[in-house]
Amino acid sequence: MLSRIIVVLLVFAATAIAQPNSGKPATQDVDLCELIHHPQSYDGQMIRVRGHVVFEFEDFSFDDSACHAGGSRSANDDKGVWLTLGGDEREIATYCCGSDNRKPGTNLQVAGHQVGLIRDAEFYRFYHQLKARRLRRPDGKECGAECKLYEVTATLSGLFAAASAERGYGHFGMFHLLAISQVSQVSPERNAVPFGGVFVCSTETWEPTRAESPELDRALRCTDATENGCAPSLRFSRVAAHWNDDVTHGSTTEGYTDTDGDQITNWVSSDLLTSYFTKATREHVSITKEHRKPVSIDHGPVPASVSIACQEYERALDDTTLHDMDNLREKNDFSSMWLRMADGAKLLFSTGDQSWRAGEPQAAAWHVLQEQSLQWDLNLATNLRLDKCQDFSSDETPILVGCSWYSPDATQTFDVSLLKEKHPPSATQVSSWVVRGVNAESCGPARE
């Protein structure tokens, strides 16, 4: 009798171990290509998928290029997997037409299901390395996906929702959706882009004659990259040979014809330190090479072995003001919307000396930035460079000015947005600046 009881207990224990959460659906492992080819088989299920994650402007998805024969999608196989974070985490990708109105403390709702988020060390590693980037190119220009520091591969668990004819997800609703509840096995690969460092540029120009290099001359004048000998990779291999350079690791912009009928093409190395600019006119070809190097040993980039993380900061209008503005926008009552924005903005930076509100936009924005950085406990770089103070106003808007700064080593960027009425209530009154918002991004070695 005792032996039978023991056997029953052992069977019960084994069952309990196999099904630890009988009230919750089990998470099943799915190959990414299997998911891409048979999405409806996993609709509404908890799954675990591993893949390379694409994070760029208007794109937060799995890289599924290996799942399509010949690199193209078929009519029945044309949707990728969009990613979003569960819990109350804000959307980290900018895209159309997503909503970031997540209520703090409330889990994401997808297809009638709540999706939470485990915020552990692996999640923060994934989050920080996805967003880590050089904030400006080495030449000081703005940059996008080419400035990211890591290619990230990870295992993502969460709720999968397959797109249907009526509804899709992500950018313009063109994707299926994986709402992430847990991140594991994060594997970042460091790119060649240098982090930090101040660079100086040297420029060289070469104008090859048709007699000197007829093959290069013909290649640079090509308008069809599919034509034999006109591929950009071949074109710039010939260009680089003049300087004994290697163009194996880099990217080419699509060639185009400018308003004068000249053929323009660019190439930049993967570390963003070397670039070529080619211009082919009817009369001659001109090639400019730019190369950047640190101004000194003390101002070189951070070693690639150092893990980098970026922190974003924001000071904006309160939720009530934003909600009221959304309602007015939906009614197409834009004049009232701008008035509501200005009214809510008056509450920002309303203490202390207010004389800055009557100053020039650059001086007013700089005052706001200095005050806000103290509240963020963020040390401004001592040698910040003004990028621009630009007027974005139109006939339908108040006066809108945006000022931005960046550090020479591209580890900090700041933006201050100001507005004021075009027409004061009376001739004796002067319009004053109010703050629409302040944004900052600061990157540096990650805290272990």
The secondary structure of residue 306, as a DSSP letter, is S
219 in the same domain as 176: no
The band of 13, judged by pLDDT with boundaries at 50, 70 and 90, is very low
Q: What is the pLDDT of residue 425?
A: 62
pLDDT tens digits, 115-166: 999 999 999 999 999 999 999 999 999 988 899 999 999 999 999 999 998 8
- Buried/exposed 299-335: b ≥16 CB within 10 Å, e otherwise: ebbbeeeebbbbeeeebbbeeebeebbeebeeeeeee
Q: Given a cut of 60, is residue 16 above it in pLDDT?
A: no
d(CA 86, CA 88): 6
Q: What are phi and psi of 147, to 5 degrees?
A: -100, 5
Q: What is the pLDDT of residue 2?
A: 41
CA distances to 47, 53, 59, 119, 185 from 188, rounded to whole Å, are 22, 10, 18, 18, 10
Q: What is the pLDDT of residue 129?
A: 94
Q: Given a cut of 70, is residue 175 above it in pLDDT?
A: yes
d(CA 86, CA 246): 44
Asked if 261 contacts 279 with a C-beta cutoff of 8 angstroms, the reply is no
432 in the same domain as 332: yes
341 in the same domain as 231: no
Q: What is the pLDDT of residue 19?
A: 39
In a domain, 2, yes or no: no
Mean pLDDT over each residue of the chain, to the nearest integer: 86
Residue 407: exposure state from Cβ atoms within 10 A (0-12, 13-18, ≥19)? buried
- Partner residues linked to 412 by β-bridges: 442
In a domain, 279, yes or no: yes
In a domain, 13, yes or no: no
pLDDT tens digits, 228-284: 666 767 778 888 888 999 888 888 776 788 888 888 888 999 999 999 998 888 778
52 in the same domain as 109: yes
CB-CB neighbours of 200 under 10 Å: 12
In a domain, 14, yes or no: no
In a domain, 152, yes or no: yes
In a domain, 153, yes or no: yes
pLDDT-wise least confident of 158-162, 188-192, 347-351, 365-369: 347-351
370 in the same domain as 280: no
256 in the same domain as 335: no
Last residue of a domain, one of 294, 324, 344: 294
pLDDT-wise least confident of 74-78, 194-198, 235-239, 416-420: 74-78
Length of the chain: 448
- Could you tell me where the DSSP H helices lie in 77-153? 121-131
Q: What is the pLDDT of residue 269?
A: 93
Task: HSE, CB side, 13 Å, CA atoms: give it for residue 396.
Answer: 6
Which is nearest to 50 in space by CA: 222, 250, 186, 143?
186
Which is nearest to 53 in space by CA: 119, 123, 143?
123
214 in the same domain as 180: no
pLDDT tens digits, 33-69: 999 999 999 999 999 999 999 999 899 999 999 998 7
Last residue of a domain, one of 172, 190, 208: 190
User: Which tokens belong to 273?
Assistant: 């330190």
In a domain, 319, yes or no: yes
Q: What are phi and psi of 334, to 5 degrees?
A: -75, -30
237 in the same domain as 102: no
156 in the same domain as 81: yes
The band of 224, judged by pLDDT with boundaries at 50, 70 and 90, is low
Asked if 202 contacts 294 with a C-beta cutoff of 8 angstroms, the reply is no
Angle formed by the axes of helices 334-345 and 319-330, nearest 10°: 170
283 in the same domain as 342: no
Q: Could you tell me the end-to-end alpha-carbon distance of the chain, in angstroms, rounded to an integer?
A: 57
User: Which tokens belong to 406?
Assistant: 């960046």
Q: What is the pTM of this model?
A: 0.82
What is the total count of domains within the chain? 3
In a domain, 302, yes or no: no
Q: What is the pLDDT of residue 415?
A: 97
Range of 245's domain? 199-294
125 in the same domain as 243: no
407 in the same domain as 324: yes
Last residue of a domain, one of 239, 267, 294: 294
